[in-house]
Amino acid sequence: MRAHSNQHTDFFASPTPRAFGHRGSAGTHPENTLVSFQAAIDAGAPYIEFDVHMTRDAEIVVSHDDNLTRTCGRDGLIREMTYAEVAQADAGRNFTIDGVTFPFRDRGVTVPRLEEVLTMLSRVRAIVEIKQIAPSLIAPMLEVIDRAGMRRSVLVASEHQEPLDEVRRLAPDIPTNFSYFESGFFLQAMASRDPLYRPPGPAVQIPHRYESWDIVTPESVEFAHSLDLEVHVWTVNEEAEMNELLDVGVDGLISDYPQRLLEVIGKRAGRR
């Protein structure tokens, strides 16, 4: 079990392994919606991961894509829409498990505002992943986080460098993950065992594999731990892979099925 020493955050206060509900409980409910987050909370997930964009009128909303086509069946870029326009979309419209039925269609499921989500998640911790680069949403996002009293409970993530640089400048007490390029530098430093390497944040969040390359290995986890870094792996949905990665010693798994992940972690704890 790893515990971080960062005095400014409670994000790492609980013991590992960490179970993150990816976009809530995206395997069972419409992703990045209040019903999905509630399902993850009901399953007992201590961490929730979700994505943010900003509307034309500077409302921070929770959505993975920069448009509403895939989830809502509606055209339009979020950054070019007002929140009122976004709120009219049916965020449960296209969700299906069997490809035939759409159990959340026309049920009033909407694209939520960050403020609503953080209110719901006040008793858990969250990865807030920034998808939008321009215009920057960092300052208004931090305002929402502070109004919710959640500054100590979040980790800000992005694959993009610009948002992370801005968060680190404006809110150095909030932990971050690594950008796409920073993750690459981490893997290069691991391969060369670079003694001068200094990680830019406390957690590297990476996929198990990239194309034909195994990224999460005993060597990469050991190197991360030697730097007091946590390794969080996305997106892990099958029980066998969950066990494989936990055997390697990763610190957290991000899954569309948080209940399944928690059951795997619970079984392993019972075998100790």
pLDDT tens-digit map of 189-241: 999 999 999 999 999 999 999 988 999 999 999 999 999 999 999 999 999 99
How far is it, in rounded angstroms, from Cα 138 to Cα 129? Answer: 11
pLDDT(261) > 60:
yes
Which pLDDT does position 68 carry in this prediction? 98
Condensed to tens digits (0 to 9), the pLDDT of residues 63-107 reads 999 999 999 999 999 999 999 999 999 999 999 999 999 999 999
pLDDT(6) > 80:
no
Does the model's pTM come out above 0.85? yes
How far is it, in rounded angstroms, from Cα 113 to Cα 44? Answer: 23
Which pLDDT does position 155 carry in this prediction? 98
Identify the CA nearest to 18 among candidates 258, 270, 220: 258
Residue 251, burial from CB neighbour count under 10 angstroms (0-12, 13-18, 19+): buried
* Per-chain mean pLDDT for the chain: 96
